[in-house]
C-alpha cells in the first residue's frame, strides 16, 4: 500500500476565524473580564471543521444554525465521555451493569452520521475545494483499492492547552512580556501574525513546549508488549497492556531541572525538546502533532499580539487540575485590545 499523500492546510488562514470568534474580546478598549474556555472551544472547533469540510460553525451568527447547535452538542458529549476513565475499562464484567458503553456507542453512531453528512455534501458539489474531505474523495477515485471508505474519526483538540498556556502566562507576567516584545520586534505593529512568522519566534515555541511538558494534552493510548521484556526493572510478558505515564515522565527530576517550575527558557537549550513525548514518539506518534503545534503557536501568538492580559485579582490563578486534564476552574482573565487590533479592523 502506498503512503498517504500529505495534506497541509495553511494555518495562516486561522486568523480569518480567530478574529470573528474572539471579536467580542479583542475589540475591548478598556480592561474587562472574559471567560476563555468557551472561546477556545469555539475557535478550535471552527478551525478544525473548516479544514475538514470548509464550513464555519461559529462567528457572524453561524452559531444559531441547527448544524452548529448539533456540533456543539456532539463535541460536548464526546469530550465529557472521553475525558474520564471508566471502571468497566478495567473490570469488563461491569459493562453488563452500567450504561456507559452503550451510551458511548450511540454517541459514536451520531458522530459518524454527522461526519458522513459532511462527506455526502462535499461529494455532491461540482466545484472541488481544498478541504481534507476533498482530498480524501479524490484519493478514493484515484486509489479505490486503498480508500474504500471515507470517514473522519476525530478532531484535534487543543483548547485545554491554550487555557493552560494563558493561565501560566497570567501567573508569570514576565514571560508574557518577553513573548510580546519578541512578537512586536519581529513582526511589527502593522499586521497580524501569520503561520511563517511562528518559525521566527523561538521564545513563543519555548512557551508552547513548556506547556506541553507540564500539561500533556491527553494520555497516550495503551500499547501491548510484542515480546517478553524488562523495563525499569519490571518484567513484562508478551501481550501485556502497557501505558506510559507522560505526566510523570515530564516531571521527573532525573530528567528535568526544577520540573515543577514553569520555565520556558529551559527549551532554549539545543535538543531539550527531544525529551518531550506529549504526542508519543517514533512511527506510532500521533500524526496530528504537527497540526496541533502549528494551530497552538499561531493562536497563542495572536492572542499575545492582539490583546493585553492581566489576572482578575492580585492572587495567582489556581493551577489545580480536574480529572479531565483541564484546570479545575474555567479561566477568567482581564483583557483589552492593543492598538494593532483597531488599526487592522479599521483598515
Please tell me the distance from the alpha carbon of residue 167 to that of residue 214, in angstroms, as a whole number: 12
286 is in an annotated binding site: yes
Q: Which helix (H) or strand (E) holds 117?
A: helix 100-124
Please tell me the distance from the alpha carbon of residue 313 to that of residue 191, in angstroms, as a whole number: 32
Residues near 272 by Cβ (< 8 Å), separated by ≥ 6? 209, 266
Q: CA-based angle 220:12:333, to the nearest 5? A: 70
**Which grid coordinates are listed for 124?**
455532491
Residues near 315 by Cβ (< 8 Å), separated by ≥ 6? none
With beta carbons less than 8 A apart as the criterion, state whether 245 and 218 touch.
no
Please tell me the distance from the alpha carbon of residue 225 to that of residue 237, in angstroms, as a whole number: 7
Identify the residue whose cell numbers are 512580556.
Answer: 177
Please tell me the distance from the alpha carbon of residue 110 to that of residue 71, in angstroms, as a whole number: 11
With beta carbons less than 8 A apart as the criterion, state whether 287 and 235 touch.
no
- Coil, strand or helix at 32: strand
- Coil, strand or helix at 234: strand
Nearest partner of 194 among 298, 60, 273, judged by Cα:
298
Binding-site entries for heme: 286
Binding-site entries: 286
Amino acid at each position: 500500500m502506498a503512503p498517504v499523500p500529505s495534506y497541509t492546510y495553511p494555518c495562516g488562514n486561522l486568523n480569518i476565524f480567530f478574529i470573528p470568534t474572539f471579536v467580542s474580546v479583542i475589540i475591548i478598549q478598556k480592561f474587562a473580564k472574559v471567560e476563555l474556555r468557551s472561546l477556545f472551544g469555539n475557535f478550535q472547533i471552527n478551525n478544525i471543521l473548516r479544514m475538514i469540510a470548509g464550513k464555519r460553525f461559529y462567528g457572524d451568527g453561524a452559531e444559531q444554525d441547527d448544524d452548529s447547535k448539533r456540533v456543539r452538542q456532539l463535541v460536548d458529549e464526546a469530550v465529557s465521555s472521553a475525558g474520564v476513565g471508566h471502571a468497566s475499562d478495567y473490570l469488563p464484567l461491569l459493562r453488563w451493569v452500567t450504561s456507559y458503553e452503550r451510551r458511548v456507542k450511540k454517541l459514536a453512531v451520531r458522530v459518524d452520521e454527522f461526519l458522513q453528512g459532511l462527506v455526502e455534501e462535499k461529494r455532491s458539489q461540482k466545484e472541488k475545494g481544498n478541504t481534507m474531505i476533498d482530498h480524501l474523495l479524490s484519493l478514493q477515485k484515484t486509489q479505490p483499492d486503498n480508500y474504500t471508505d471515507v470517514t473522519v474519526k476525530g478532531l484535534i483538540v487543543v483548547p485545554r492547552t491554550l487555557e493552560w498556556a494563558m493561565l501560566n502566562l497570567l501567573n508569570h507576567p514576565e514571560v508574557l512580556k518577553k513573548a510580546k516584545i519578541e512578537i512586536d520586534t519581529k513582526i511589527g505593529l502593522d499586521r497580524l501574525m501569520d503561520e511563517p512568522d511562528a518559525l521566527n519566534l523561538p521564545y513563543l515555541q519555548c512557551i508552547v513546549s513548556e506547556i506541553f511538558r507540564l500539561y500533556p494534552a491527553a494520555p497516550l493510548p495503551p500499547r501491548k508488549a510484542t515480546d517478553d521484556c524488562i523495563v525499569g526493572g519490571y518484567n513484562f510478558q508478551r501481550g501485556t497492556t502497557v501505558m506510559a505515564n507522560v505526566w510523570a515522565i515530564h516531571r521527573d527530576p532525573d530528567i528535568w531541572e526544577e520540573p515543577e517550575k514553569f520555565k520556558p527558557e529551559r527549551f532554549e537549550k539545543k535538543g531539550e525538546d527531544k525529551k518531550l513525548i506529549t504526542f508519543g514518539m517514533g512511527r506510532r506518534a500521533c500524526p496530528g502533532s504537527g497540526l496541533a503545534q502549528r494551530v497552538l503557536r499561531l493562536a497563542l501568538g495572536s492572542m499575545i499580539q492582539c490583546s493585553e492580559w492581566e489576572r482578575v485579582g492580585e492572587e495567582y490563578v489556581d493551577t489545580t487540575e480536574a480529572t479531565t486534564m483541564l484546570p479545575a476552574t474555567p479561566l477568567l482573565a482581564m483583557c483589552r485590545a492593543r492598538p494593532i487590533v483597531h488599526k487592522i479592523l479599521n483598515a
